């Protein structure tokens, strides 16, 4: 109950901000942070709970963006339909990746996801209709009232997506699905022996995580009003989606959110004040630092300190 | 492009040269990942670092291949230190290396890449040497000299490493630690020191690989991304840690990439390595020559 109240409050705050705050940059940056909340949360369903490290977040994200481009260019469908379609395509891709890589564990699974990302990028690269290597320009439609600006509307859409993603992750974590996935992470053989349907659970995690990642990519064409394969499939999305949950903490659904908000905000500040190369460096350094020194992440660290000093 | 036998012949020869080059850039990974089981995603990043080292020394008049050899001791020490660190933070604390080990090397790769961008910019770098830009003509075929130099270096490097692993005492110990660490411990050998030594060698080899990389073509800091696929493809295809397997896998990749390049165009080439890798992982994860 507390969760749903906070979710409603967050949504009301986002709408209120969109209707009152004048500074457009706030929404421009805020949307990116929200997009990373969705990506990090989606990554954590497979990476954090089940221990399967996906290096191919960029593939799902890019496919989501290009699904949206395809629907806009061919049929002119609205954003809501684009997001839903992108989620479906992402789910299908997740299922495909899952089926293809079921026998693989650890680094082999991770490398296979990199492979999927590069192959899809190459395919889009050679698809003339979608702009190919040079990219494609997208015209934003008229903004619907009560919003006076398209970016502000995207900000609210991003908030909605983030809430859905976190709710799904929270459900997965607290239900039998999450218990099963954690059993897989700790020992796949033992889980299988005790009757956990490891195969179906892994597929389910792949599908859910893939759908959320692609949904996060769908608004990208509208946000940038331009898409090209190199940036849509960028490895930077993959590394951020992996770094944020690890920095925030992978055991709890709050971890990816904390990591994404913290790291996403730092990235935005660094990009504006110094350079966009440096923000990748920040991600890399923080990732290594946390993996080495604080493997349980910020959420794990704070709850341990809390337990030590206040209980 | 239209099919012709001349074109096919040229593609095959070029592919074979390219294949040996791919094998040579992968032998380091074949040791660190294939034998030692370290998820070394940062291997291609170190290769690019080695290429920049060769370039830097090249501006002082060094031949790139010589520069690669000169840099080896430095990278060896670096590799030893890195394994030590990896061992102390991850392996020593038990089996839970998985996600964290992968994330660690992924992060290292990014730090190397962005470090190079910050230090030298995103521009492509190339070296000058007497053999670069010339080509060797047999009949009506022209084989670029730079490919031949890389090919020769690749053969020497792979041969030396294969001989080292099978003939010397330490080399055999490295193979032994891959097979059965506990048995090696019982024989009174410290497996960690052997692994440390092996990881040092694997890292030292990346400088030679980097030197070849910059001889074959211009290098930029983000180049490691495409080589993650190529090197892992070769190592997995070759059956993790087998030197002859690595060479054959390199040839397979080189020739298929060259055929796609010739008959379908350059824009499809990046997908070849990864497609092949997916196929191997899906059908035969232990590689062509694995047990």
Based on its alpha-carbon atoms, the radius of gyration of chain B, rounded to whole angstroms, reads 19
Within 217-246 of B, beta carbons closer than 8 Å to A belong to: 225-226, 228-229, 232, 236
Task: Report the sign of the C-alpha dihedral through residues A261, A252, B109, B245, in that order.
Answer: negative
DSSP letter at A177 equals H
The rounded distance, in Å, linking the Cα atoms of A210 and A248 is 21
Q: What is the DSSP pairing of strand A136-137 with strand A226-227?
A: antiparallel
B33 close to B40: Cβ distance less than 8 angstroms: yes
Tell which residue, B250, B258, B247, B264, has the closest CA to residue B10: B258
Chain B positions touching A40 (Cβ under 8 A) are none
The total of structural domains in chain B comes to 1
Asked if residue A86 is part of any domain, the answer here is yes
Phi and psi (nearest 5°) for B75?
A: -70, -30
Asked if residue B189 is part of any domain, the answer here is yes
Asked if residue B288 is part of any domain, the answer here is no
Asked if residue A206 is part of any domain, the answer here is yes
Tokens 């295809």 label which residue?
A: B237
The total of structural domains in chain A comes to 1
Distance from CA of A107 to the nearest CA of B (A): 6
Asked if residue A249 is part of any domain, the answer here is no
Asked if residue B289 is part of any domain, the answer here is no
- pLDDT (tens, 9 = 90+) of chain A, 311 residues, equals 788 888 888 888 877 777 777 777 888 888 889 999 999 999 999 888 888 888 888 899 999 998 988 888 888 778 888 888 889 999 999 998 888 877 777 778 888 888 888 888 888 888 877 777 777 777 777 777 677 777 888 888 888 899 899 889 889 888 888 888 888 888 888 888 887 887 888 889 999 999 999 999 888 888 888 888 888 888 788 888 888 998 888 888 888 999 889 888 888 888 777 777 777 788 888 888 888 887 788 888 888 888 888 76
Tell me, what's the ipTM? Answer: 0.77
Per the structure, the complete domain to which residue A100 belongs is given by 2-233
Asked if residue A13 is part of any domain, the answer here is yes
State CA B6 to chain mean position distance. 31
Tokens 């490493």 label which residue?
A: B161
Per the structure, the complete domain to which residue B262 belongs is given by 5-121+130-283
Chain B positions touching A101 (Cβ under 8 A) are 281-282
Asked if residue B229 is part of any domain, the answer here is yes
Distance from CA of B123 to the nearest CA of A (A): 14
Chain B positions touching A104 (Cβ under 8 A) are 281, 285
Tell which residue, A63, A14, A23, A35, has the closest CA to residue A210: A63
The rounded distance, in Å, linking the Cα atoms of B117 and B159 is 34
Tokens 């493809």 label which residue?
A: B233
Asked if residue A304 is part of any domain, the answer here is no
Cβ–Cβ contacts within 10 Å for residue A131, how many?
A: 20
The rounded distance, in Å, linking the Cα atoms of B253 and B236 is 12
**A21-47: b (≥16 Cβ within 10 Å) or e:** eeeeeebebbbbbbbbbbbbbbbbbbb
The rounded distance, in Å, linking the Cα atoms of A85 and A81 is 6
Asked if residue B290 is part of any domain, the answer here is no
Kindly determine whether residue A115 and residue B115, on different chains, have CB atoms separated by under 8 Å: no
Asked if residue A253 is part of any domain, the answer here is no
Q: What is the CATH number of the domain that holds B244?
A: 1.10.3470
Chain B positions touching A284 (Cβ under 8 A) are 107-111, 114
């Amino acid at each position: 109950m507390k969760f749903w109240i906070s979710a409603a409050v967050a949504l009301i705050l986002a709408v209120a901000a969109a209707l009152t705050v004048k500074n457009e940059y706030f929404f421009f940056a805020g949307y990116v942070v929200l997009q990373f909340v969705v990506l990090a949360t989606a990554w954590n369903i497979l990476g954090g709970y089940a221990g399967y490290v996906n290096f191919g977040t960029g593939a799902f994200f890019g496919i989501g963006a290009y699904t949206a481009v395809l629907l806009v260019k061919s049929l002119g469908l609205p954003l809501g339909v684009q997001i839903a379609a992108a989620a479906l395509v992402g789910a299908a891709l997740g299922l495909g990746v899952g089926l293809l890589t079921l026998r693989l564990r650890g680094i082999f699974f991770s490398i296979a996801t990199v492979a999927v990302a590069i192959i899809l990028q190459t395919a889009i690269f050679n698809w003339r209709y979608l702009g190919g290597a040079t990219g494609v320009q997208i015209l934003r439609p008229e903004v619907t009232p009560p919003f006076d600006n398209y970016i502000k509307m995207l900000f609210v859409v991003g908030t909605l997506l983030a809430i859905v993603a976190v709710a799904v992750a929270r459900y997965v974590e607290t239900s039998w699905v999450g218990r099963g996935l954690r059993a897989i992470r700790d020992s796949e053989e033992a889980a299988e022996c005790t009757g956990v349907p490891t195969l179906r659970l892994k597929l389910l995690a792949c599908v859910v995580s893939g759908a959320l990642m692609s949904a996060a990519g769908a608004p990208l064409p509208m946000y940038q009003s331009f898409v090209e394969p190199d940036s849509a499939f960028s490895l930077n999305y993959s590394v951020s989606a992996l770094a944020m949950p690890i920095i925030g903490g992978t055991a709890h659904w709050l971890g990816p959110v904390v990591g994404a908000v913290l790291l996403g905000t730092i990235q935005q500040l660094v990009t504006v004040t110094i350079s966009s190369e440096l923000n990748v460096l920040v991600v890399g350094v923080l990732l290594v630092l946390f993996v080495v020194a604080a493997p349980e992440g910020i959420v794990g660290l704070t709850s341990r300190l809390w337990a030590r000093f206040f209980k | 492009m239209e099919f012709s036998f001349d074109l096919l012949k040229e593609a095959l020869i070029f592919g074979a040269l390219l294949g040996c080059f791919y094998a040579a850039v992968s032998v380091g990974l074949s040791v660190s990942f294939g034998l030692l089981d370290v998820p070394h995603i940062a291997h291609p990043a170190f290769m690019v670092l080695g290429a920049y080292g060769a370039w830097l020394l090249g501006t002082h008049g060094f031949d790139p291949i010589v520069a690669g050899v000169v840099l080896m001791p430095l990278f060896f020490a670096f590799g030893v230190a890195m394994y030590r660190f990896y061992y102390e933070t991850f392996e020593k604390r038990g089996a839970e290396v998985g996600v964290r080990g992968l994330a660690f090397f992924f992060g290292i790769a990014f730090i190397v890449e962005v470090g190079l961008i910050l230090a030298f910019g995103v521009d492509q770098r190339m070296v000058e040497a007497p053999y670069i830009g010339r080509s060797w003509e047999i009949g009506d075929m022209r084989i670029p000299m730079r490919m031949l130099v890389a090919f020769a270096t690749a053969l020497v490097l792979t041969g030396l490493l294969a001989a080292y692993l099978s003939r010397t005492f330490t080399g055999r110990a490295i193979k032994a630690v891959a097979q059965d660490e506990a048995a090696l411990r019982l024989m009174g050998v410290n497996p960690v020191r052997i692994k440390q030594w092996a990881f040092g060698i694997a890292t030292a080899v990346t400088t030679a690989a980097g030197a070849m990389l910059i001889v074959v073509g211009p290098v930029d800091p983000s180049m490691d991304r495409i080589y993650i696929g190529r090197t892992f493809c070769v190592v997995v295809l070759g059956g993790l840690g087998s030197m002859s397997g690595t060479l054959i896998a390199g040839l397979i990749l080189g020739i298929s990439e060259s055929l796609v390049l010739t008959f379908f165009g350059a824009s499809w080439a990046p997908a070849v390595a990864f497609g092949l890798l997916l196929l191997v992982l899906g059908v035969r994860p232990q590689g062509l020559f694995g047990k």
